[in-house]
Amino acid sequence: MNDRKLVILGMASMLLLIGCGQSEMPTAAPEKSATVEAAPPDLASLLASDLRTEEDRTRDAGRKPAEVISFTGIEPGMDVIDLLAATGWYSEVLSIAVGSEGSVAAQNPPFMLAFRNGTLGDVLQERIDNHGLTNVTRLDSTWDELAESGAQYDAAWSALNIHDVHYMESAGGSFASAVFTVLKPGGVLAIIEHAGNPEGDNESLHRIDKNLAIDIVTAAGFVLEDQGDMLANPNDDRTQGVFSEGIRGNTDRFVLKFRKPAS
């Protein structure tokens, strides 16, 4: 399994070398060969390959990870923190995206680690170990501990969990401030969330109003740079819980790209 993942990471890191001009120009035209070398695979091809488990790949249709990562600008070689990583589905996707020259910190706060009768962290660690995610490290921390860690990341990622921070932990401000602190100047924060109606019972539905999410993050100093609609679903009227039959995995979701000012 480790060898399998190393193959993924090696292939992903090749993306970083495209166009870098690392070989010298030949002095004469090379002889034509009957064999044409294949171009390095792109991220979508890597994620679609059987080097990931079939169970993980079944979620790609609804989550469109390659498209979202491209939108946020996360690239090979970056150091990324996956906030509220849970069991690490997105951590593994990010691991492949940043390649062997990059790194992923799979972070979970105490309230998240308490899920699954306290075994969530063990499930995450099993993924890291059994899937050979050599560029992923587990990070258990409160928001204050994260802010005081001294770490600096190129990008931060939070998928489908800001509503938990806001409603369950009442720590939206602490979350956003901590992320602002550990991002390098110019760094990106990507937010994916289940969209809620402004006047809806979003807490019970596990949703959040997009404008509220924007307010939480921009209050910490971030600038909203772009909004993506690749996960939008107009057939979801946002009145059902996100785990409801027929809507689970296909909710109306917004994607937000924030930037920490460069100075």
pLDDT for residue 178 is more than 70: yes
Kindly state the DSSP code that residue 195 receives in the 8-state scheme: B
Please indicate, yes or no, if residue 27 is contained in any of the structural domains.
no
Q: What is the CATH classification number for the domain harbouring 49? A: 3.40.50.150
Give CA separation, 261 vs 143, 161, 189, 194, in Å.
21, 24, 11, 26
| Mean pLDDT score, 109-135 | 95
**Residue/partner pairs of 53-60 with CB below 8 Å, 24 or more apart:** 53/131, 56/89, 56/92, 59/89, 59/249
* Average pLDDT of span 180-185: 98
Are 262 and 185 in contact by the 8 Å Cβ rule? The answer is yes
Query: Could you tell me if 210 and 217 are in contact, meaning their C-beta atoms sit under 8 angstroms apart?
Result: no
Contact 98, 76 (CB under 8 A): yes
pLDDT at 201 over 80: yes
Tokens of 41: 């695979």
26, part of any domain: no
- Specify if 25 maps to a domain: no
Instruction: Round to whole Å and give the CA distance between 66 and 60.
Output: 9
Domain annotation covers residue 127: yes
Does residue 19 lie in a domain region? Answer: no
Number of domains making up the chain: 1
Q: Name which of 187, 179, 180 is nearest 154 in CA terms.
A: 187
- 3-state secondary structure at position 172: helix
Above 90 in pLDDT, residue 41? Answer: no
What would the pLDDT profile of 49-107 be if each residue is shown by its tens digit?
887 999 999 999 999 999 999 999 999 999 999 999 999 999 999 999 999 999 999 99
Considering the domain boundaries, does residue 125 fall inside one?
A: yes
Structural domain contains residue 34? no
Contact (CB, 8 A) for 135 and 2: no
Is the pLDDT at 14 greater than 60? The verdict is: no
Indicate the average pLDDT of the chain.
88
3-class SS string, 33-48: CCCCCCCCCCHHHHHH
pLDDT value at 34 more than 80:
no
Domain that holds residue 197: 2-12+39-259
Which residue intervals of the chain are DSSP H helices? 2-14, 43-48, 54-57, 60-63, 65-72, 89-98, 110-113, 120-130, 143-147, 162-167, 172-182, 202-205, 210-218
Query: Phi first, then psi: what are they for 20, rounded to 5°?
Result: -85, -10
Answer for the pair 127, 95: CB distance below 8 angstroms, yes or no.
no
What is the reported pLDDT for 180?
98
Alpha carbons 30 and 41: distance in angstroms, whole number? 24
- State how far the Cα of 240 lies from the Cα of 197, in Å rounded to an integer: 11
pLDDT value at residue 263:
83
Whether 31 is in a domain gets the answer no
